[in-house]
């Protein structure tokens, strides 16, 4: 059970802006990454794994980030990333799950991916 006193971490919720293709067209999600909002939360490391990409091993960790549910969190989807402000680590959002009371929302995210 998560309580308000457990939310000691600071997290930036980030989204890639639309980019320009150089010919006047717009490419969704190809622009620079911008921080949309910052909130406090808690991070729990769930599992770690190793994948091989181009014959190089890469570590992948699955985490759960728990924050208070607020109007800004309703816009978050799997194209967003979450950055832990103190350590600088970034995680790609994979799944969102609100709790039954509607007070908190849990983001399952993956870090260490290229």
Could you please state the CATH topology (level 3) that the domain comprising 8-111 is classified under: Thrombin, subunit H (2.40.10)
CA 99 to chain CA centroid, nearest Å: 18
d(CA 72, CA 14): 12
Q: What is the pLDDT of residue 114?
A: 46
Q: What is the pLDDT of residue 13?
A: 96
Q: What is the pLDDT of residue 24?
A: 82
Q: What is the pLDDT of residue 82?
A: 95
d(CA 13, CA 83): 7
Mean pLDDT, 10 residues at a time, the chain of 114 residues: 75 90 83 92 81 68 92 93 92 93 92 63
CA 33 to chain CA centroid, nearest Å: 12
Place of tokens 């949309």: 36
């Amino acid at each position: 059970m998560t309580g308000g006193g457990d939310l000691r971490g600071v997290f930036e919720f980030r989204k890639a802006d639309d980019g320009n293709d150089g010919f006047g067209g717009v490419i969704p999600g190809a622009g620079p990454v911008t921080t949309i909002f910052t909130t406090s939360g808690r991070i729990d490391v769930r599992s770690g794994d190793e994948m091989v990409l181009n014959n190089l091993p890469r570590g992948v960790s699955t985490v759960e980030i728990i924050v208070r549910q607020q109007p800004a969190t309703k816009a978050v989807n799997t194209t967003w990333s979450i950055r832990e402000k103190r350590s600088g680590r970034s995680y790609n959002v994979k799944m969102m799950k609100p709790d039954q009371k509607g007070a908190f929302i849990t983001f399952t995210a993956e870090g260490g991916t290229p």
